[in-house]
Structure 1
């Protein structure tokens, strides 16, 4: 059975238009034998038009010469304009004038009387196939047209000569010019943009569009060639979008982040000052630890953001000492076991103080872990290396090295060489070996100084 656009297994529905009854009956019988469904027979052009609208056939087999005021050519043209039903002419007249006139109605084929069934089937199948393809193409064109009209991005299409052949409503709006004034103009006249840098997130180029009205608009743009199957240029398409609101939002966000970072910096500085007011003998200790820890992190290849987190943690790593009595902090002799226990509690206290502050880094955890050791002998959790952050190991080493380079009430500073000897002897046992090696290079090869 012939297939249709909607159902490949159903018979195509055919309307026969023929004013000779014997011929009409013969055509109907032939169509039935071939598997088509004859939905009706009309004998005038007027009746054919009416039945086409009522029955909506898949195809019309139309005699050119009909009784009445409207012949087959006029009826076919009317049906084409109103209902878009394909028509195959059935005629005994094959002279040039008749065929030329019939061609104006846009027929899908011709059958010259008399004809054989195979000729009838071939003509109808070709007409049905052509009709299906045209409907599919029309559907695709409608979908594309509606999509382009609804597209929020401006779109300009130019032909191979560089002249604009299409502009969607968004392009009209962004350019401030109606499509009628855009189409037909050279693309480089209508669309003038100063290119900038590529947007890494979207892979689109950022540009400044100079609109015909005299104002400039920041846009993201993509220009692509239109090529045929052989690679020959058929034209160019430009897609662009206004990014002024997004850029304004990004600026506002950057300003907000800068303000938050400023507030965070001031908060951290305030915490640092608060801590060191309690222990004037170690004034500057946290800043020096912070600087060394950040230098170690950078040398170890940590990201800029990770280095900043370690720097901030270094500035407040001893904030927990505010719970330690001043008498203990300033005691000019070795601490007893009870006093040492109080001092050891400063890590947990610091964690409690900082844990609810929404730092973008694990600052509270670094403060908690900065006295842990690789062999589990540290405090407060006696954690092994697998449980301690790399950032905490860096901070721990920086704290040891700086402390041994500073005086305390109960001792003079052992000095740099003693500090480096300490971390060498504790490499892999107390301190992370990579951090130790990095610290030794920093002091001995690069000449780092507090």
Structure 2
């Protein structure tokens, strides 16, 4: 990087001119190196001192003149050169232009001309250096990315491809450059089918079809390249291999499916355990769960919420395992003490389930399924706003199934009678929306026990 005070190397084989330049440059505030009186000496000093600008006479003694020397300095060190010359003939200027000078000073000249030429050369040098550094950073970044990057011109011809793009495509950069991107980068829809995709969106998942016949799942992004006026300059494609992510997602899904199956079997086992003690209510929990799930769907619950309500229905009476069989199967009305024991089943069910890490609040729904909207239910006398939405559904499903099923102490009611009783409790005992959903389901014939 240049110091605050620019350093100028003088290359001039006439001692008087060299001395005059040294005085002028010092007076203008520059740090002066040299003078060098030959091309060979200029190369040596340029390597050792790294000046910010070389002020080079075109005519030098020796094997290399100023043009040859400037070309070597530019080639080796990308150092700016300003030519000093008294020769303005076309041939001299043509040769000098080939060396890539940053300016010319025609002898004789004034100090302001000298300062202006050097300031312009210094500015151009700083801008070029900054551009080179930016290009180096960009190149290093693109080459080290874990994503493939390809750019194409407005005609779709590849202009750049980073090493990861070569690797993912299985094609070397030499074979990519200048070829049509559409013929090199072919994808299929990631659906296991062979139909070509209609075109990728801003971020799309597809199967990349490589030249060796293999397919690779990739995530891809196509973005336009535009200038500051909005004119299209081409396209940049960024794509990445998502094979590992896909394998991880598949393994996770299989694990979740396995856990869900285990969960379902556990809930089924709990259901069987509770119902084997009361043959008169066998199947009650399964029927309640089906109606509860249907009601949840009718009310717009998500699939996951609906599954939670269904699971809660399967175990809502699990607490009855603490009730003696003789009470469960008693053919006449229960005493107050016996009724108290039966009513405890909601709390017992909650205690059984509360520490099981279900993905749904099953324990709470089991605890609340005998609560009523007006606060007349048990065990806590909750009102509608304090009950879980799933609990309000279970309350309706439980009472409808119970009224239409045979019990030791009474005969089964007809469905019409049960629904009439349900409607009487609408908005008082039972949630109005749930009651309406239940009546609608049976009225349309969309549900049967």
TM-score by length of 2: 0.89
What SS class does the counterpart of residue 156 from structure 1 fall into? strand
Say which of 186, 203, 219 aligns to 1:192.
186
- For residues 60-119 of structure 1, the C-alpha deviation after alignment (integer angstroms, 9 at most, x for no partner) is 222222344433222222221222221111221222121122222211111111122332
Partner of 2:289: 290
Q: Unpaired segments of 5 or more residues in structure 1?
A: none
1:263 equivalent to 2:262? Answer yes
Correspondence for 2:153 among 150, 159, 169 = 159
Aligned to 2:442: 443
Aligned residue among 62, 67, 72 for 1:73: 67
The answer to which of 229-238 and 137-146 deviates more is: 229-238
Checking the alignment, whether the CA contact within 8 Å between 1:443 and 1:449 is kept in structure 2 is: yes
What is the distance in 2 between the residues matched to 1:203 and 1:281?
61
Q: Does 1:114 align with 2:108?
A: yes
Q: Does residue 14 of structure 2 align to residue 15 of structure 1?
A: no
Q: How does 1:150-299 map to 2 (within 5 A)?
A: 150-196=144-190, 203-299=202-298
Answering whether residue 324 of structure 2 is matched by residue 330 of structure 1, we say: no
Residue in structure 2 matched with residue 349 of structure 1 by the alignment? 348
CA separation in 1, counterparts of 2:379 and 2:28?
A: 94
- Asked if the contact 1:195/1:205 (under 8 Å) is kept, the reply is no
Residue 338 (structure 1) shift: 1.9
Question: How far apart are the structure 1 equivalents of 2:285 and 2:189?
Answer: 48
Say whether 1:37 aligns with 2:31: yes
Other-structure match for 2:365: 366
Residues 277, 24 of structure 1: CA spacing in aligned structure 2 closer, same or farther, 3 A cutoff? same
Q: Structure 1-normalised TM-score?
A: 0.89
The CA distance in 2 between the partners of 1:33 and 1:434, in whole Å, is 95
Distance 1:295 1:6, change over 3 A: farther
Distance 1:55 1:301, change over 3 A: same
Residue pair 2:2, 2:52 contacting (<8 A) in 1 also: no
- CA–CA separation in structure 2 for the residues paired with 1:82 and 1:376: 92
Alignment of 1:372-411 (within 5 A): 372-411=371-410
Secondary structure of the corresponding residue to residue 320 of structure 1: helix
Residues 66 and 377 (structure 1 numbering): CA distance in 2 closer, same or farther, change over 3 Å? Answer: same
- 1:446 CA displacement: 4.8
How far, CA to CA, are the matches of 1:203 and 1:426 in structure 2?
A: 54
Partner of 2:84: 90
- What RMSD over aligned residues (CA atoms) do the two structures have, in Å? 2.5
- Secondary structure at the aligned position of 2:276 is classed as helix
Residue pair 1:17, 1:62 contacting (<8 A) in 2 also: yes
Partner residue, 2:194: none
Offset at residue 400 of structure 1 (A): 1.6
Distance 1:108 1:305 in 2: 72
**C-alpha deviation, 1:214, in angstroms:** 2.8
TM-aligned CA deviation for residue 360 of structure 1: 1.7
Which deviates more, 22-31 or 400-409? 22-31
Q: Is the 8 A contact 2:190 2:217 kept in 1?
A: no
In the alignment, structure 1 residue 416 sits paired with structure 2 residue 415: yes
Q: Are the aligned partners of 2:202 and 2:223 in contact in 1 as well (CA < 8 Å)?
A: no
Deviates more, 1:420-429 or 1:346-355: 420-429
Q: Is the 8 A contact 1:46 1:70 kept in 2?
A: yes
2:125 to 131, 134, 142: 131
Q: Which moved more, 1:160-169 or 1:397-406?
A: 160-169
How far the C-alpha of 1:322 sits from its partner, in A, is 0.7
Unpaired segments ≥5 residues, structure 2: 192-196
Shift of 1:196: 4.7
**Aligned 8 A contact 1:79 1:85 in 2:** yes
Residue deviations 1:276-301 (CA, integer Å, cap 9, x gap): 11111111111111111111111111
Cα distance, 1:229–1:26 mapped onto 2, change above 3 Å: same
- The CA distance in 1 between the partners of 2:202 and 2:347, in whole Å, is 48
Q: Which 10-residue stretch deviates more, 162-171 or 133-142?
A: 162-171
| C-alpha separation in 1, matches of 2:150 and 2:15 | 57
Change (3 A) 1:29 1:344: farther
